[in-house]
Amino acid sequence: MEIPGWIIRPYSCDLQQVPIELQESLIDLHSDDVVKSSFPEQYYNILWCNIADQYPALCASGKVMILSFPTSYLVEEGFSTVVGLLTKKRNRLEITKHGGDLRLFLNKFSPDLKNILTGHQTQPSH
């Protein structure tokens, strides 16, 4: 998959390489100093997510290209996790009945154990 140069370098791209229906919006973006100061060119992935109200056509085209990589990575990670759950040791596991296990493996959440333990009241003696 090839990402067009105007998505990666929105402020310094050649306008002749941009589709005609997006050229006017990109010219407006080139002259928008507020957006340039808020989102430098190296943060192009954040730029396309935060200017959707001002430049909807540009954002729609930019997001499609940028979001395809993380989503395909997450799909592959999900398949790998299912393969790991369905190993020979766990061959009787029905993945459809244990969706909670899959969510735990795919979740990047880590609990704040220190906070949990400070709020825990020990059992008083009788």
**Cβ-Cβ contacts under 8 Å for 21 (sequence gap 6 or more):** 57
Q: How many CB atoms lie within 10 A of CB 22?
A: 19
Residues 119, 116: Cα–Cα separation, whole Å: 5
pLDDT in tens, 50-98: 888 888 888 888 777 776 666 677 777 777 877 776 765 565 656 666 5
Residue 3 confidence class, pLDDT cut points 50, 70, 90: confident
Contact 26, 58 (CB under 8 A): yes
> Per mean pLDDT, which range of 42-46, 74-78, 95-99, 118-122 is the poorest?
95-99
**Cβ-Cβ contacts under 8 Å for 122 (sequence gap 6 or more):** none
- Quote the pTM value: 0.50
Instruction: Judge whether residue 41 has pLDDT over 80.
Output: no
**Cβ-Cβ contacts under 8 Å for 62 (sequence gap 6 or more):** 7, 10, 44, 47, 48
